[in-house]
Structure 1
């Protein structure tokens, strides 16, 4: 499991992002999984972190990724794209498991490392769909989400 933990951030970034234009359904699924991972991992770290900066960041992740999920779902409804309930992909499931296996400062450090990789990937997905997506309502949602994710990326640089 530890080997996967070392490779996971690179694998997150290498995940299918902008290699080809996603269908609207693929975008909704990918964005939903990304938000679910952010919310799940952040709630997990909130259970134990003693670091006020990490606590504040994790609380913001729960709030803002819940909001972006609602934005994508609303856009999907306008676009008449059926949105299945979000579910973690296998790598995200493993990353959450890795967080569960840690505690204290080690969990906090792993959380921040995972957040950096996950947000870089999410930014690429959102930018790509905003630029090249085929559904106007979903493109608009992605374009609105890009600056929020960029803000998260920028915050993570100082953590």
Structure 2
């Protein structure tokens, strides 16, 4: 029996992690990211990278054609918004580091990796909705009050894209009765 104890504990911890995932999407960006260029570029890059990486996991696991189309769209759109933000940052005289995930986003992606095929769609949408709400707030705020004109323009261009993503995620989530 002792031989199987570590596996039991690992499964228990994995189950605990998965059940908490729907309540703990990636954290919102810091307040200064809404007005200051460097924190904005970092936060936008983290957000895009989370969207890309989480969507890649879902493409590997989901069998739902609508979820797979959405995930594919996330990857394509967020690669473009990352490129646009980095170009605008360079135009504004910044030298931004490559986007990197924070621990919260990494944990959310790990939860998707550990999710069963039956749970991954529900979990993905449960993460996507608040993540896109936070991204929408970030881009709207920086677009209206940011300190660098090239980045304000890029943020404003990102707003309709993020709105579309949010609306689609909410529609799929509601269509599934709040869960998949």
CA distance in 2, matches of 1:155, 1:85: 28
Cα deviation 1:30-75 (Å, max 9, x = unaligned): 0000000000000010012110000000000000000000100110
Aligned residue pairs total 156
CA distance in 2, matches of 1:73, 1:16: 17
CA distance in 2, matches of 1:56, 1:6: 21
TM-score when normalising by structure 1: 0.92
TM-score when normalising by structure 2: 0.82
Q: Which runs of 5+ in 2 are unaligned?
A: 1-16, 173-180
CA distance in 1, matches of 2:103, 2:38: 19
- In our comparison, the structure showing a higher alpha carbon Rg is 2
CA distance in 2, matches of 1:104, 1:3: 15
**Residue in structure 2 matching 1:45, options 55, 58, 69:** 58
Counterpart in 2 of 1:143?
A: 156
CA distance in 1, matches of 2:133, 2:57: 21
Aligned-pair CA distance for 1:84: 0.5
Q: Work out whether residues 18 and 124 of structure 1, in 8 Å CA contact, stay in contact via their aligned partners in 2.
A: no
Q: CA RMSD in A?
A: 1.6
Say whether 1:105 aligns with 2:121. Answer: no
CA distance in 2, matches of 1:101, 1:80: 41
Aligned-pair CA distance for 1:5: 1.6
Q: Which runs of 5+ in 1 are unaligned?
A: none
List 4+ stretches of structure 1 deviating above 3 A.
Answer: 16-22
Comparing both chains, which one has the higher relative contact order based on Cα–Cα distances under 8 Å and sequence gaps of 6 or more? 1
Say whether 1:70 aligns with 2:113. Answer: no
Say whether 1:91 aligns with 2:91. Answer: no
Aligned-pair CA distance for 1:117: 1.0
Say whether 1:8 aligns with 2:48. Answer: no
Aligned-pair CA distance for 1:19: 7.0
